[in-house]
């Protein structure tokens, strides 16, 4: 008699509730994962470290990695990520999550050029060979929503860039995928972003109607490409 298959699990660290795992969670569930969600700054992340999941997903948020005096719990979160990196366990980071992975790897994170809204990324040769290649299905257009950037961590491979932000995506081996943009977002969730980030949009001079209109045109296509990208990455990571 064969051994019963072990239950897989994905842990998700959120920083604001509306920036959730989106299509990443859909892919993980389709692949048989239970999902355990932690709210950063509220929930104790000790269990993420002492009972590590098969996959850790670290999501975005409107704070800076370097704001540890204002948000002291960031240091503990970076420590959890650093341990996972040292153990070479699979991890996906989106936006702030990618920046936290960079910081945990010893790279510098700092204010950069603000990019908010839909726009293309330029894949590197490595990116075209990676699961990111399926983003070509959406003409490499993705949702940007960031003001910070980071240096490429030691041992990382750059996968994509924009003119304003050279490090838009990187990989470390097959166990780390870090994305400065947001291919996890479902088109139907964009209104929660427009509401939640209304102050930032106003300060940046970005009209929410522009993002809403382009989301109606391209959002579902990008989400489908993102879903396939994450599925391929999880397959390659053995998840």
| Mean confidence (pLDDT) of the chain | 96
Residues 72-100 have pLDDT tens digits of 999 999 999 999 999 999 999 999 999 99
Picking from 31, 20, 18, 43, the residue whose alpha carbon sits closest to that of residue 184 is 20
Mean pLDDT, residues 148-169: 97
Q: For position 19, what pLDDT does the model report?
A: 96
Please indicate whether residue 154 is annotated as part of the active site.
no
In the chain, pLDDT over 70 holds for what percent of residues? 98
* 95 labelled catalytic: yes
The pLDDT value given to residue 6: 76
Is 193's pLDDT higher than 60?
yes
φ, ψ of residue 7 to 5 degrees: the values are -70, 125
With 60 as the cut, is the pLDDT of residue 2 above it? Answer: no
Residue 4 has pLDDT above 70, yes or no: no
What is the CA angle 234-173-154, rounded to 5? Answer: 135
CATH assignment of 8-237, among 3.40.50.2300, 3.40.50.880, 1.10.1660.10, 3.40.50.720: 3.40.50.880
Mean pLDDT of all residues in 5-23: 93
Catalytic, out of 95, 115, 175, 227: 95
* H-helix or E-strand spanning residue 33: strand 33-39
Do the Cβ atoms of 152 and 107 come closer than 8 Å?
yes
- Tens-digit pLDDT profile for residues 46-79: 999 999 999 999 999 999 999 999 999 999 999 9
Q: Is residue 136 predicted with pLDDT exceeding 60? A: yes
Cα-based angle 166, 167, 173 (whole degrees, multiple of 5) = 140
Which one is catalytic: 15, 144, 182, 197?
Answer: 182
Query: For the segment 24-41, what is each residue's pLDDT rounded down to a tens digit?
Result: 999 999 999 999 999 999
Tell me if residue 33 is catalytic: no
Do residues 39 and 17 lie in contact, with contact meaning Cβ atoms separated by under 8 Å?
A: yes
Q: What's the pLDDT score for residue 5?
A: 64
Q: Which of these is catalytic: 115, 141, 184, 227?
A: 184
């Amino acid at each position: 008699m064969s051994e019963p298959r072990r239950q897989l699990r994905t842990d998700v660290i959120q920083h604001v509730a509306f920036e959730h795992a989106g299509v990443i969670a859909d892919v993980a569930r389709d692949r048989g994962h239970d999902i355990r969600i932690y709210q950063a700054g509220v929930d104790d992340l000790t269990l993420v470290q002492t009972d590590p999941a098969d996959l850790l997903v670290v999501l975005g948020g409107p704070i800076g990695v370097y704001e540890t005096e204002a948000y002291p719990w960031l240091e503990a979160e970076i420590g959890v990520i650093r341990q996972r990196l040292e153990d070479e366990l699979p991890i996906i980071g989106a936006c702030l999550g990618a920046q936290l992975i960079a910081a945990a790897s010893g790279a510098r994170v700092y204010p950069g050029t603000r990019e908010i809204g839909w726009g293309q990324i330029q894949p590197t040769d490595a990116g075209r060979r990676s699961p990111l290649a399926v983003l070509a299905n959406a003409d490499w257009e993705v949702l940007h929503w960031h003001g910070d950037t980071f240096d490429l961590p030691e041992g990382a491979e750059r996968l994509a860039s924009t003119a304003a932000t050279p490090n838009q995506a990187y990989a470390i081996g097959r166990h780390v995928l870090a994305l400065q943009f947001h291919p996890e977002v479902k088109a139907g969730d964009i209104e929660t972003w427009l509401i939640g980030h209304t102050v930032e949009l106003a300060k940046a001079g970005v009209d929410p109607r522009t993002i809403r209109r382009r989301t109606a045109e391209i959002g579902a296509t990008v989400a489908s490409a993102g879903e396939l990208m994450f599925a391929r990455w999880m397959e390659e990571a053995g998840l």
